[in-house]
Every structure is written in structure tokens, then in C-alpha cells.
Amino acid sequence: MRYEGEHLLIGQIGHFFALLSLVASITATIAYYKSAQSIDVNRALSWKKMGKISFIIQAISVISIFVILYLIIYNHYFEYKYAHQHSKRSLDVQYLLSCFWEGQEGSFMLWTFWQSMLGLAVMRTAKKWEAPVMTIISLSQIFLASFLLGIYFFDLKVGTSPFVLMRNEFPDAPIFKDPQYLYKYLTDGNGLNILLQNYWMVIHPPVLFLGFASSIVPFSFAVASMWKKEHKDWIKQALPWSLFCGGVLGLGIMMGAAWAYESLTFGGYWAWDPVENASMVPWLLMVAGIHTMLIYKHTGHSLKATYLFIPLSFLLVLYSTFLTRTGVLGDTSVHSFTGEGNSLYWHLLLMITSFTLIPLILYIRRRKGIPVVVKEESMNSREFWMFVGALLFFISALYIIVLTSLPFFNKLFDTQWAIGKDVEYVYNRVMVLVVFVIGLLTAITQYFKYKDTTRKYFWSGLLWPTVISVVLSALITFFGNVDYEKYGAGFLAAIHIAIWAAVYSVIANGGYIFKVLKGNLKAAGASLAHLGFGLMLVGILISSSKKELVSVNTTGISISGLKDVKGMDENPLENVTLIHNVPTRMKNYTVTYEGDSSIEKNDRVFFKIHFKSLDTASGKKPEEFYVHPNAFLVKGDEGMNLSSNPGSKHYLSRDVFVYITSWLNPDSIKDTASFANKWVGKGDTVFYSKGYIVVGNIITANKYDNKDLPVVDSAWLSNLVVYSNDGRSYTSQPGFFVKDNLPSVKLDTVYTQNLVLKINSTKGDLIELGIKESDAVMRYITLKAYQFPYINVLWLGIVIMVIGFMVSMVRRFRV
């Protein structure tokens, strides 16, 4: 059968380049290996040339694959599975890139793309290290290229190609019996996961993967140095690369945090989710490695530790890919990536094993020749405290990765363990102490000199920062209202001393830049990075412990028929229902749901929520603002689904965040209910489906004996009390007016009971009461609202930290 409208050539070209990139990286690996092993200079050179050419060919292939896949997505060739699965015609152009990395294949492609670019850079700069280092990088390219292969070796499928066709993947689907399937059926794709339709998701994955990919460079240098038995010289080149990795990976991780903060609905930037942890652990190791490299460079100590930390950082990148991509984490992570199943599992495991064995075997064979300094580090030396810090990062990384790996251990040992009630606290209570020690170390360590420091020098620099930070953090403690009491006084005290250490770190590093370095920012990379890191810690500690739930449910609607449960106080009810145009009090705001509007193209609804602060005592003008959360309406098998995107109001010192948890689409329901009428008098009782109504006073007034009745001629009002079955009661006052002999009716609605009440007519002491029970009486939304104070301190800290990394990198590259 000939199918109409397919674009097969472009996919075949893509496939060709995928194969070419594999073959070329195999050639590059072999050629570079030969070159590194050759003793004869000419042979080494000619092998090296061949390695160069092969690597350039593979880089071109990778770029071509990249471009071709983008063209397929951009042109909406839905005959390709990747385009059909991840994109959609109505998607804005900027999100087409996000489609790219939504899928497994796209993210491996991003990785191999960056690794190729980094490889090219190393090729140009590594000089005598080129052959051995590029051997390792090319070897890693072989593995990455094989992930995009999608070829069967006997029964074993190796990799997944991004260029497969829908009809080949689903040959049994009936639509492919029709040669015009593309015009009739596959006219649009599945679209991009709504959570990923966010500008952070355009930029976060490329930066994160650049960070991941760059960890191969220090790894390769470490392996090369053991391989070539040149333990000293590699540091000079590997250090700027490590700094590059530390900066970019740190930025990438925190961009992910910013995305989680703005678009996910967990109410925060960090949730100790396995996916987050897995990306942070390689960073911790890389930073530990940077510090031991510096120690080694200046004193000759800590080389063995460097040979542990640097390779481990790259291995943890692989391991974290393994955890998040193979579905091992399945039930524990909110980011549910699912894997390619078994084939990827073994494929990645093979890659991890290979890259573990290479440095391990080399280390064992070379350990005799690794230089060790016998003399002990002095307690008054910079290297001693730097090493303690590096070690602490290493231990923290272990703690985090062991806990994160529980699901994998369960799989290995067939156990059923999981972290219990409070996942975040399990991490936080340890990390708060780590923050204390690390904050302290980053504050004091620069004031030590390498090898030995006199007490006078140390204190002359550090005295004022110490005093200032003690005063500042005391001010925070006494006036900052950091009173996070959920876990008792011990944890609160830990938070406060951690805040002190973090403030200390900021002040001491700032002081170092101005007093010791005399404001020479080019030399201040380390101090800047530490200052930024300290600021980040301050931001994390304060914003997390002062994070406030605004939408505490105080309307007090009780839950009928249930025993009260212990522990309810510590978990306040977080959702508040707002009825259209009914101002509702939340914490120190009056909040009103004023309306909504939808954009048809995206099935997206924007809500207009008005906030007004209750701060009237101070006499200031009350603060008012609007927040516009929005939500996508996703058509599912069983009606509409809501996928919420928070709205926020940013202030310099705090953010107010609102997101919709539930919404009743008023168009979806029709009011079919009608009024049931009944004549009643004072004291009568009328039943409705959820309870009963007692008629109280009936007030009659007319303009002859009541001068306060200017608008109407006569009025009848009835005070009703509605008793619902859940034990609550409401008052209601419907009315009936006559003006110029024309009757008018005042409806009264008991919203929570979906009850509309009116008086139809009157006769003596009796009124005819109209009762309607309807679902359509109201428009309402349910929302959650949070307030995050001082979150900008965190973001500012990250920016400064990354700048610090980059400044150091540039300097180390030159020196």
C-alpha cells in the first residue's frame, strides 16, 4: 500500500546520521586510544588526526540528527511517532523546543549534543592531553549514540530511535489500513504535557544537560592522568572544566527549582523529590572535587580524594539518569518519567559498570605511583578546613543518594521499604546541620592561608565579619519572626544557628572581597561563589521556615459522620472554596473571586482573584492586588480535567501564590431545577433534600407606617433558619415587595446548601415560600494560596554563585 502525504526521506536521513554518529564515535575512540598508546610520535600524530576527523564527523552527525528532529516537530510530520507523541499544531513555537526534550530520545540527544560540543572544545584546548581525554569522551559518545539507535540485535533492542513511524510502531492499528490515514486520522499530535508549557521548561533542560554533560570532562582528565601516570599536570586543565560544570549544573538545577516553584503545584521550589535529589548529588560531588583539586594544586594533599570525587560525580550523573529514566523510582516520584523498560535498564547499567571499572581498575593498578604527602595538614591551614567541607559534601551526597535509592534497593533485595510520613523532614533535619557547618566553613576558610596561618592574620580579617554577622543574625532571630514550630524547639534552634552560619558566610566573603582582595572582582571568583552560596542558604532557610499557607480553611465547615482524627492541627486544611463575588477571609486578606475568562485556542481559563489586606489598624491604605491563576481544561475519557497553573503576585520581599484546585464550569451544568412552592406561616417547618427550614418572623412593612422604606410601597420579609443534616444552620431572608402595584421578588441564596429561597405572594400572616435546590446557583472555585517571603534572596544568591563559578573558571583558564 502507498500511503499519502508521508515524508519518509527526512527520517531516513535522520536514521543514517544516527548510525553514522555511532560508527564515527567508535572510530574516534579507537583512533584516539591508539594515539594515546603510541610511543612513536609520528604514529601518535596520525592516529590523533584520524581521531579528530572521526570526532568532528560524529559531531556533525549529532547536529544533523538534532536539526532533522526539530524539522519533523516544527513541520508537524505526525507520521513520526516522536512528533505525534510530543507535539501538537496549536502549540506556540517556543514550546516546540520543549517537545524536543519531553521524550526519552530527545533528552539523550540533548546530552550527546552537548557532549559533542564539549568534546570539540576539549579537542582544541587540551594539547598533550587530547588523545587520552578524547578517548574517554568518545567512548561515552558511543554509549550515548547507541541510546538513539533503535536496532535489534537478535531479540535485544538497543536504544530507541526518534525517527520511527507511527505505522511501524503500531502495525495493528486499524487506521493504517487507510492510505489516507495522515489526512483523516493523524491530523494532530498528542501535544505537550501542560506542566512543560512554561518558559522555564524551554531553558532548564538545555542548561541542566550542559551541566550533566560537562561532568565527563573532569572525569576524562582524571582517568587520563592515572592512565598516563602524570598526576600533577592535569589539574590545571581539569579545574576550569570542573568550575564550568559546577556553575552550569548548579544553575540548571536551580532553574528546575524555579520551574517547580512557578508551575508545579507542590507549593515550593524543592521537595526532595528523587528527580531533584538525583540531579543535586553529582553537583555536590563536583564541588567537593573542585575543593580537593585546589588543595592538591597548592599543597599536594588530597589527590586520592580527588580521584574519588571527580569520577564519582560523573558516575552519579549516569546513576541519576538510571534512576529517573528507567522507571525504577516509579511509585515515589511526582515527575513520572517512565522508561523504555528493560532494554534501557540494562543498557544504562552496562554504561555505569563500564565507567566504574575504568577508573577503578586504573586506580588499583596505579595506586603505588600516586603521590602522597606524608606531612600532616595543620589545623591552621586552609587545606584542612577545605577538606573537611569537601568531605561533608561527600557524606551529604551519600545520605541523599542512599535515601533516594530506596526504591532501587527494594527492587534489588525484594524488600518493601519507603520513607515514611514526612519525607522532607527526613532530609531537612540532617541538612540543617550540614548547612550550619558548611556556612561556618565557607565563612572562615578563606581567612586561612595554605599550609599555615598566624592567629593574628586570621583574626584581623575575620573579627569584624564575625561581629557583624552575630549582630545581624541576632536581629533576624529576635525580630525576624522565624518561628517554625512544626518540629519543636530543637529544630527551630537548629534553623536559627544555621541562619547565623549562612549570614556569617555572606558577610565574611563580602568582607574578604573588599578588605583582602581590595575589591578586585577578577580574583574574587571563589569569594563570590561562596557569598552567593551563603545568600542562597539564607534565602532557603528563611523562605522555607516562613512559608505561610494563606488559604487556611477557617470557614469551619465540619465533616459529617466522621470521628475527629488526631494530628489534624499540624496539617491544616489547605483549600478554600470561593463563591463568585463573595468576599472571603483568608489569613490577613479578604479574597474575592471576581470572574474568569477563557482562551479558546488552548482550552485555558484565566481566573481573576482580588486580594485586599485587612491591615486597617495601622491606618495605612489597605493593600489591594489581583492574582490571575489559570488552568488548562483537558478533555479526558470521563469529562473535563483541570490542570492548574499558579498565579502569583511578586513583591521584592515576598510572593503570593495562588492556584486553583477545583472549578465548576458553569457552562457544563444547566439549571433544570424548579421552585417548589408552599404556603407557610410563622413557626412552620419545610423539608428539603439536605435538611429543613424553619420559618421565623414575617416582617411586614409599608410606606405609611415605616418611613425608612423609600423605594417600595410595601414589603414582606421572612426570617428563615435553614438547618442542614450535617448539623449546621444558616439564616436567610427572602423578600417580597410591591411598588406601584407591581410585585417584585428578592431571592436569597444559601450557597453552601445550593438552596434558592423566595416569597411568591402573601396572604394575611401566610407567605408562599418558593424553594429551589439547584447545582447551578453558583460559580465557585477552590484554591490554595501560599505566601513565600524573601524568595528573591535565594534567586539572587544563585545568580551570584554562578557568576562566582564563571569568574573563577575564566581566571583558572588563564593562569
Partner 1 sequence: MKKIHIVILIIVAGAIAGLLTLTGDLTTYDSIESAKRKEGKYVHLIAKLDKSKPIQYDPVKDPNFLSFYAVDSLGSETKVIYRNSKPTELEHSDRIVLKGQMNGEVFECKEILLKCPSKYKDDPNQQLKNISKPAATSQKS
Answer yes or no: are the C-beta atoms of 787 and 588 closer than 8 Å: no
Q: State the Cα–Cα distance between residues 472 and 534, nearest whole angstrom.
A: 14
Q: How many residues touch partner 1 (CB under 8 A)?
A: 85
One of 4, 230, 233, 331 touching partner 1 (CB under 8 A)? 331
Q: Specify the long-range contacts of residues 45-48, CB closer than 8 Å, at least 24 apart.
A: 47/131, 48/130, 48/131
Q: State the Cα–Cα distance between residues 215 and 249, nearest whole angstrom.
A: 9
Binding to partner 1 by residue 642, rule CB under 8 A?
yes
Residues 218-237 that bind partner 1 (CB under 8 A): none
Stretch binding partner 1 (CB under 8 A), from 84-92, 469-477, 486-494, 673-681: 84-92
Residues 646-665 that bind partner 1 (CB under 8 A): 661-662, 664
Binding to partner 1 by residue 792, rule CB under 8 A?
no
Q: State the Cα–Cα distance between residues 134 and 24, nearest whole angstrom.
A: 13
- Angstrom CA distances, 331 to 335, 340, 522, stand at 10, 16, 47
Q: State the Cα–Cα distance between residues 465 and 449, nearest whole angstrom.
A: 17
One of 326, 784, 786, 805 touching partner 1 (CB under 8 A)? 784
Stretch binding partner 1 (CB under 8 A), from 147-155, 290-298, 674-682, 750-758: 750-758
Binding to partner 1 by residue 170, rule CB under 8 A?
yes
The CA-CA-CA angle for residues 25, 31, 32, to 5°, reads 90
Residue whose CB is less far from partner 1, 266 or 692: 266
Binding to partner 1 by residue 636, rule CB under 8 A?
yes
- Angstrom CA distances, 553 to 90, 569, 572, 654, 806, stand at 38, 12, 7, 22, 47
Closest CB 636 distance from partner 1, rounded Å = 5
What are the grid coordinates assigned to 448, written together? 586561612
Closest CB 780 distance from partner 1, rounded Å = 6
Binding to partner 1 by residue 729, rule CB under 8 A?
no
Q: State the Cα–Cα distance between residues 393 and 385, nearest whole angstrom.
A: 12
Residues 558-587 that bind partner 1 (CB under 8 A): 559, 562-563, 565, 568, 571, 573-577, 579
Closest CB 301 distance from partner 1, rounded Å = 9
Stretch binding partner 1 (CB under 8 A), from 42-50, 392-400, 449-457, 468-476: 392-400
Binding to partner 1 by residue 336, rule CB under 8 A?
yes
Answer yes or no: are the C-beta atoms of 264 and 350 closer than 8 Å: no
Q: Which secondary structure element, helix H or strand E, spans residue 722, and what is its range?
A: strand 714-724
Residue whose CB is less far from partner 1, 378 or 677: 378
One of 10, 158, 392, 523 touching partner 1 (CB under 8 A)? 392
Closest CB 106 distance from partner 1, rounded Å = 12
Binding to partner 1 by residue 166, rule CB under 8 A?
yes
Closest CB 690 distance from partner 1, rounded Å = 9
Binding to partner 1 by residue 330, rule CB under 8 A?
yes
Stretch binding partner 1 (CB under 8 A), from 65-73, 165-173, 315-323, 801-809: 165-173
Q: Specify the long-range contacts of residues 306-310, CB closer than 8 Å, at least 24 apart.
A: 306/222, 307/222, 307/226, 307/359, 307/363, 307/370, 308/394, 309/285, 309/390, 309/394, 310/218, 310/219, 310/221, 310/222, 310/238, 310/242, 310/285, 310/286
Residues 15-74 that bind partner 1 (CB under 8 A): none
Residue whose CB is less far from partner 1, 184 or 365: 184
Binding to partner 1 by residue 676, rule CB under 8 A?
no
Answer yes or no: are the C-beta atoms of 116 and 62 closer than 8 Å: yes
What are the grid coordinates assigned to 370, written together? 600516586
Q: Which of 464, 458, 426, 423 is nearest to 444 (CA)?
A: 458
Residues 408-437 that bind partner 1 (CB under 8 A): 410, 416-422, 426, 430, 433
Binding to partner 1 by residue 710, rule CB under 8 A?
no
